[in-house]
Chains A and B, each alone.
Chain A
Amino acid sequence: MKLCEFIRPESLAQARAALRKLGPKGLPLAGGTALHFMPGKTPVTAVDLTGLGLSYIRQKGAFFEIGAATPLADIQRHRGPRWAMHEICRRISTHQIRNVSTIGGNICRVFPWADLPVVLLAMNAKMVIYSGKLKEMGADEYFSSQPARLFRGGDLLAAVKIPVLKAHHGFGSVKAARNAAAFSMVTIAALLEVNDGRIAAARVAAGSAIPFPRRLPSVEAALTGKEPSAGVFRAAASLAGNDARWCGQEGMSAEYVANLAEVSIVDALERAAEFARGRTE
């Protein structure tokens, strides 16, 4: 990415005005760690979003609100009642990247290997978008296609709201990768609501092994009303192919990836069940 100018707005309104004026020649910049994946010869003006007070994590009522410019390392290190976001953030890239890369940067433009959209889909998070005023958008709508579509007019992601999990909620995420810093081969996240020993509701999402992260409604339907057991999890995971067309990757056939995804779904569901039973790490 070729930068020809660098500006530092002092408010969301200033940043939005600058981006609206610049149009396609404006680049909202947070951590900037993924820009080398976006080669472009057209010079752009970077609009630095890190000075807008958008780096924070705070609990507000039934949600944890995470500022869009919050580095992944801060999310990884944060602890709160039934906080579950640290699990996946620990698995994203390297320490140096997590210190700079932001939650907003990870979800405003979704790369195929992105982990956070999978987790936010399962969590049923809400994205807070600034378009002159703040408005909220649910994860299902936000991730229905490339979120960059929402920001072409200069609008900005301000925050992400994660529901505070209740005592009967369980969350689990699994990332299969070749090594600690590698991109994901498959990422799975699952949220289970367990009432009276049965799964009252489930949200299961997948990413990386498919072109774009998405929920797995067949898996969710197969879980609902059942006891959270290994057999139920395996049976539900076997239906994932109804929702997702797993892609082969370098050195891996599509069949291998499908198997990996099914095993990962079972693992994520087991972690979610453990969480509902009181797992904290």
Chain B
Amino acid sequence: MIQYAAIILFVFGLYGLFVNRNVIKMIVSLNIMEIGLNIFIISIGFNYEGIAPILTSTTANGLIYVDPLPQALVLTAIVIGVGTTALGLAIAKSIHKTYNTFELDETGDAE
């Protein structure tokens, strides 16, 4: 079920990115999209009965564990997302400095 929530969040972010023309709102949409994607990745390895993936620890049902690889991937994806956001904000600052606005439509040279 959690996958659906993640996909809805991803689509919200994508929608926001294409509908908004304000640079800051676009960056926020980008972040929402990335969070949706990260939750989706986590949900791939998640298991309701699972425990920490340590070889010696078992439950009554044997060793059912949460897949640790997607969690490791999400860590990397978060770091990359932060990098992209930081760069986006730096460019937003430069847009504001050049055109004195955050609206792409008001800058004059946006397609």
Report if A and B associate in a common complex. Answer: no
Binding site for A on B (CB under 8 A): none
Chain A residues at the B interface, C-beta cutoff of 8 Å: none
